[in-house]
């Protein structure tokens, strides 16, 4: 059976939970940090994704408490979540390694061996 690659929000959430359980707001902050600010997860998207991941058994509720009169759930990875994240990290690593191998090969075939960025644009070249 061939597994589909993870959608980016799933990958980021599982990565955010890989080293410690976190509550919703902390997950939003951690996703922004992991993505270097590129992904700003909205509350509705976050809780929809968390419900889906709970249903899939990839995360679990680690704790529930009331803070400032509001319920706060803390989420953690399950064993299945750790396995799924490890598998996706391996898949991404393999793709990145192959991309680098191919780019290195192309760069070595170009005049000067320094890569496409050093050549003037002349049409019909590799990009």
Query: Can you give the pLDDT at residue 3?
Result: 64
Q: What is the mean pLDDT of residues 5-24?
A: 96
pLDDT value at residue 108:
77
User: Tell me, what's the pLDDT at 111?
Assistant: 75
Long-range contacts (CB closer than 8 Å, 24 or more residues apart) made by 122-125: none
54-99: pLDDT as tens digits: 999 999 999 999 989 988 999 999 999 999 999 999 999 999 999 9
Question: What is the Cα–Cα distance from 70 to 43, expressed in whole angstroms?
Answer: 15
- Determine the Cα–Cα distance for residues 11 and 26; give it in Å rounded to an integer: 16
Number of H helices, E strands in the chain: 4, 3
Residues 76 and 48: their CA atoms lie apart, in Å, by 16
For residue 2, report the phi and psi dihedrals to the nearest 5 degrees. -95, 125
* pTM (global) more than 0.85: no
Distance CA 110, CA 49 (A): 45
């Amino acid at each position: 059976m061939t597994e589909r690659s993870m959608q980016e929000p799933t990958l980021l959430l599982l990565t955010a939970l890989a080293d410690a359980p976190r509550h919703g707001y902390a997950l939003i902050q951690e996703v922004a940090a992991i993505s270097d600010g590129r992904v700003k997860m909205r509350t509705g998207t976050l809780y929809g994704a968390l419900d889906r991941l709970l249903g899939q058994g990839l995360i679990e509720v680690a704790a529930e408490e009331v803070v400032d009169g509001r319920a706060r759930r803390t989420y953690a990875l399950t064993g299945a979540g750790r396995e799924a994240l490890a598998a996706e990290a391996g898949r991404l690593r393999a793709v990145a390694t192959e991309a680098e191998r191919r780019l290195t090969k192309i760069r070595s075939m170009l005049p000067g061996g320094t890569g496409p960025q050093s050549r003037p644009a002349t049409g019909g070249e590799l990009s």
